[in-house]
Amino acid sequence: GMDLAAQTPYNANKPNEYGDVARTPQQGQTAKPSSDIVTASSAAENIASPKTGSGQPPIGVNNTNAPLDRVRADSNDRVLTTNQGVPVANNQDSLKAGLRGPTLMEDFILREKITHFDHERIPERIVHARGSAAHGYFESYEDLSDITRAAPFAQAGKKTPVFVRFSTVAGERGSTDTARDVRGFAVKFYTDEGNWDLVGNNIPVFFIQDAMKFPDLVHALKPEPHNAMPQAASAHDTFWDFVSLMPESTHMLMWAMSDRAIPRSYRMMQGFGVHTFRLVNAAGESVFVKFHWTPLQGTHSLVWDEAVKISGADPDFHRRDLWEAIEAGEFPEWELGLQIFTEEQADSFEFDVLDATKLVPEELVPVRPVGKLVLNRNPDNFFAETEQVAFCTAHVIPGIDFTNDPLLHGRIHSYVDTQLSRLGGPNFHEIPINAPVTQVHNNQRDGMHRQTINRGRVSYEPNSLGGGCPFQGGRMGFTSFPQQTFVEDKVRGKPELFADHYSQARLFWQSQTPVERAHIIGGFRFELTRVTVPAIRQRTLSMLANVDASLVNAVASGLGMPVPDPQPMATTRPLPTYRTSPALSLLARPGQTGIHTRRVAILVADGVDVAGVRTIYEALLADGAVPRVVSSRLGQVAGADGATLDVEITLEAGPSVIYDAMVVPAGEQSAQTLAADANALEFVRLQYRHCKPIMVVDAGVQLLAKAGIPATLRDGSADPGIIGAQPVDAAAALAAFKEALAQHRVWIRESDPPAV
Ligand code: HDE
């Protein structure tokens, strides 16, 4: 029990604010307070309190855990209460004048409950409404203080807590995860010098060069305003109308039509800061930087037909994947890489580093690995954390600074501004997930939903009554890099190098493998087929004609259209010629985690070789894969030898597209039963069509034959992705299957149109 009488009202600064000291104010302070003044306010803050925090938890402790405990609620063993803490006797019935009488106005319990419910939703994000997030930490490999004074890089092994949100851009909050779209990759670092948000995407370039065009881009992309269609898709007239009139979007379109826009998992995509940023060290020296996140899980994507079908089978596919991996202890990791270059180097490039439609090829400036990101904890509450988290490009810390990228400058404004309506006012930084783990001290006050109870009567600076506190940090504080600015005429325009819209689109195309090129052609063909106005298709083709002849020919023939004349160029300068950049291929990063978290379906029915299934199951599990026993019905199947096996999921509930590979085990009767089930036949066909490894044991091969799976590739050679295991070489077959699973897809099987 607390002794209420013993608690005296406490204002540690009172001696300064009232009485003799207050009557004879000292000189107002704008720097560190002089030590002879009793700065009781700073003394008060040294007292550990749950509100201000007592300092930093030990290295490696997830910092956001401890401070959030004060706002966590766990109802285990607790009585139900109103929001005022009043215990509720009956949560089933409203208060009525007689059992069949009217409900009484007096029923404050009903009214509080319904009123709160009526206001449960907040506006969704204007873009990136659909997302999933997780907690974790960033660990610096080395001390980078020669390059930047940014706190996360201050020493080797230093860990900084993070909260990371992945998202799609176009769809609404409840839309499907596997839409063709750019993915957001937003990282909030809770550093010991305040919060730093690196709000990036999984594609290193953007559609537009200037913030002025962002509302137009988003209006064109979002469902059309008259009928609110289509949901979570760029495959419609207004999007292609806009981009085909904005040739600067060509490079980004190449990426967006590639498999980058249909990732297999949030865990298997790269992230990019997109803009050129600055790093600044303690001496005030600065370099330019591009941020890269590289997944240890490798970069892997879906195929389009699969992505479409997953939207029906499991619209939460990516959310579930991230959640389950973390719950299973398969913590996803990314390496942070920096492309560092000087201003002089940048001046020598054939493109402008302030142009967000351009990347810096890795062959020009290598990516230097500097640390890793580990996501190791799912949020406790989706709304409180994932929905309320507010990422803002304006959130930078000492050591990180901006460049004059005109897209970035618009963003610096937009992200803070949008939270005002989305989160209901200027105090969104106090929402626990947004609050820095460092202490916040300033003279900002009041506003909607204010949480902090600021003590004392001083809320201005300079002041003497508060001993000059909180005082300016001077060189300790954030100092904008004193970039030299040249006085020119006020102007709305673009630098000349921005006018090269095609060279890097061509670089991207030329750096893709044949499989990736085929998929890009398929992406354009699909989207432009959905476009209903032929002139828009034609105008898009006229842009592609400036990228590559084989590309535009293939897309045009897919649309049954002639190839139009190329769109006129916006520049007459000689265009740069790039070497190809193999690093731009998805296949360049197979990853380091083998078959970990890959999902494998084992199709069974009565009569299956139960012992064989167990062996395969355990072997996959042992290497970190996720095997599932799949059948027509839940319950058990009986093996030929009388042993039984629990079915984990049905063909209906867990269709082909949610697995990376499949196994048809031995068992004559089992294979025949499955071959009579169209769900099983479709399962096999889609596994084959989506280029997934298939392992068949003995009689299992009958199911493949019945499904019409070709025994060989088109050239007559054996399909390397169909692994047959006879009992004698079962171990070798299993090894070959795991190898194919690690490679993820058997692309050599693919054809357009599909053969099966
Ligand atoms: Fe965003 N963007 N954006 N964006 N963006 C938002 O902020 C905006 C851009 C990105 O998980 C909004 O809080 C403008 C580039 C991500 O919460 C909004 C411009 C890149 C997320 C906004 C851009 C991004 C957003 C909507 C052009 C990659 C989700 C809700 C000048 C580098 C963050 C919100 C999360 C969200 C504005 C362009 C990434 C409206 C004006 C380029 C990952 O403020």
Q: Round to whole Å and give the CA distance between 122 and 113.
A: 17
Residue found by looking up tokens 């293939």 in the block: 554
Closest CA to 345 of 365, 325, 367: 365
How crowded is residue 245: how many other Cβ atoms within 10 Å of its Cβ?
15
pLDDT score recorded for residue 74: 87
Provide the mean pLDDT of the chain.
92
> How confident is residue 52, by pLDDT bands cut at 50, 70 and 90?
very low
Ligand 1: residues with CB < 6 A are 125-128, 131, 165, 167, 184, 186, 199-201, 206, 211, 214, 274, 356, 390-391, 407, 410-411, 414-415, 418
For ligand 1, atom 42: residue with the closest CA:
206
pLDDT, tens only, 252-306? 999 999 999 999 999 999 999 999 999 999 999 999 999 999 999 999 999 999 9
Q: How far is the CA of 416 from the centre of ligand 1 (A)?
A: 11
Active-site pick, 16, 63, 128, 135: 128
The yes-or-no verdict on residue 427 having pLDDT over 50 is yes
Q: Round to whole Å and give the CA distance between 83 and 74.
A: 15
Return the sign of the alpha-carbon dihedral for residues 562, 568, 570, 571: positive
Q: How far is the CA of 415 from the centre of ligand 1 (A)?
A: 7
Radius of gyration for the alpha carbons in the chain, expressed in angstroms and rounded:
30
pLDDT score recorded for residue 443: 96
pLDDT score recorded for residue 22: 56
Q: CB–CB of 68/432 below 8 Å?
A: yes
For ligand 1, atom 8: residue with the closest CA:
411
Q: Kindly write down the DSSP assignment for every residue of 504-567, as one continuous string.
A: HHHHHHHTS-HHHHHHHHHHHHHHHHH---HHHHHHHHHHHTTT-HHHHHHHHHHHT-PPPPPP
Q: Which two tokens stand for residue 367?
A: 């990516």
Q: CB–CB of 260/318 below 8 Å?
A: no
Q: CB–CB of 530/236 below 8 Å?
A: yes
Lowest mean pLDDT among 9-23, 131-145, 473-487, 530-544: 9-23
135 tagged catalytic: no
pLDDT, tens only, 534-567? 999 999 999 999 999 999 999 999 999 999 999 9
User: Once rounded to an integer, what is the mean pLDDT over residues 110-119?
Assistant: 96
The yes-or-no verdict on residue 60 having pLDDT over 80 is no
User: Once rounded to an integer, what is the mean pLDDT over residues 425-444?
Assistant: 94
User: Once rounded to an integer, what is the mean pLDDT over residues 579-591?
Assistant: 96
pLDDT, tens only, 629-653? 999 999 999 998 889 999 999 999 9
User: Once rounded to an integer, what is the mean pLDDT over residues 416-432?
Assistant: 96
Q: Which two tokens stand for residue 566?
A: 């190329």
The yes-or-no verdict on residue 723 having pLDDT over 70 is yes
pLDDT score recorded for residue 55: 44
Find out whether the peptide bond into 263 is cis, omega within 30 degrees of 0.
no
The yes-or-no verdict on residue 53 having pLDDT over 50 is no
HSE, side-chain direction, 13 A CA sphere, residue 64: 30
User: Once rounded to an integer, what is the mean pLDDT over residues 701-711?
Assistant: 94
Residue ranges at the known binding site for heme = 125, 165, 214, 411, 415, 422
119 tagged catalytic: no
pLDDT score recorded for residue 580: 94
The yes-or-no verdict on residue 685 having pLDDT over 90 is yes
Lowest mean pLDDT among 581-585, 659-663, 708-712: 708-712
pLDDT score recorded for residue 16: 65
